[in-house]
Amino acid sequence: MSGFIVHTVPGSPFARAVLACLEEKALPWRLAPLAPGGHRSAEHLARHPFARMPAIEHDGFALYETQAILRYIDRVQPSPPLTPADPRLAARMDQAMNVNDWYLFADCIAVIGFHRLVAPRLLGLEPDEAAISASMPRARIVFAELSRLLADQPGFAGADISLADLLIAPQLDFIATTPEWDELTAGHANLLRWLERMRRRPSLRATAWDSLAAGRT
């Protein structure tokens, strides 16, 4: 199969989910790195009119939206499967993926990750402590719900790794160094154990942004 081109500013957890999925499938890929702010360039807007990342190209086929990309990869390369055949487990996978997009990313990562990590590192701004504090009640609900959905299963969709695990792990890993992490994960040891298991997977190790910066582009 011909290779995938992944356009992103290095560091994006959504882009890492796509790269990890390609690694799980042993598919060839190449990173097309955008400079910071490059997602708002005319060139990238032609790929992604909403100025987000990642966007991919595969053999002349262009696609954005991470869930759509992950499902596309799982369909063009069905082995190993990353969507459960059982309808209820597949529904749990879908549910966790939407919790990721609508609540984990929108309410936690886009606030805590932005103000703690992106703003100081890339924009030279002080974290907005008021915005972070305001996000915490919702963030606590998100972490409690992720922990409840995961329960004592190996992955969010049961015994086998699924697209949900690949989507959520990079998001949690992204904010794990923030001062809010310990409070948000307190009492959710299952989530911490799951994240450790995910971090040990070759696909996640190969796509940690530090390793990518050191080698492959």
> Is 144 exposed, middle or buried, given 0-12, 13-18 or 19+ CB atoms closer than 10 A?
middle
Q: Of 166, 171, 174, nearest to 198 (Cα)?
A: 166
State which of residues 6, 7, 12, 146 lies at the interface with ligand GSH (CB under 6 A): 12
CB 116 within 8 A of CB 180: yes
State which of residues 6, 7, 13, 22 lies at the interface with ligand GSH (CB under 6 A): 13
The span from the CA of 166 to the CA of 19, in Å, is 9
Number of residues that bind ligand GSH (CB under 6 A): 11
x/- map, 42-81, ligand GSH, by CB under 6 A: ---------xxx-----------xxx--------------
The smaller minimum CB distance to ligand GSH, of residues 7 and 92, is found at 7
14 is a site residue for ligand GSH (CB under 6 A) = yes
C-alpha neighbours within 13 Å on the C-beta side of residue 147? 16
**Phi, psi for 213 (deg, rounded to 5):** -65, -35
The smaller minimum CB distance to ligand GSH, of residues 10 and 158, is found at 10
Question: Closest distance between ligand GSH and the C-beta of residue 187, in Å?
Answer: 27
Chain residues binding ligand GSH by CB under 6 A are 12-14, 39, 51-53, 65-67, 101
